């Protein structure tokens, strides 16, 4: 039975796999130019990523960690230009 994916329902290996899955899903939405879905999945991934210990974070592939924390922050972070400007 699948739950809502909240941080309290996952732990250990399952949590690491879910973080990986959500980051990859967000990247696929990014590649498809589906920004709303990408932002939603990225936020969910960040929420779960924040619950990981330092050792667990090291088990996330570096490519995914970099995309989650740095590259996507440029486009979805607080300092970005809001959509629909002008």
Cα 18 from Cα 8, distance rounded (Å):
13
Cβ partners under 8 Å of residue 25, min gap 6 = 41
Tell me, rounded to whole angstroms, the distance of Cα 80 from its chain centroid: 18
Kindly report the average pLDDT of the chain as a whole number: 82
* pLDDT tens digits, 43-80: 999 999 999 999 999 999 999 999 888 766 666 777 77
Cβ partners under 8 Å of residue 57, min gap 6 = 49, 65
The pLDDT of residue 17 is above 90: yes
């Amino acid at each position: 039975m699948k739950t809502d994916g909240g941080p309290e329902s996952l732990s250990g290996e399952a949590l690491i796999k879910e973080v990986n899955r959500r980051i990859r899903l967000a990247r696929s939405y990014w590649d498809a130019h589906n920004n709303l879905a990408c932002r939603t999945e990225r936020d969910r991934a960040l929420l779960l990523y924040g619950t990981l210990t330092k050792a667990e974070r090291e088990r996330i592939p570096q490519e995914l960690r970099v995309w989650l924390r740095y590259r996507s922050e440029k486009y979805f972070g607080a300092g970005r230009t809001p959509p629909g400007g002008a």
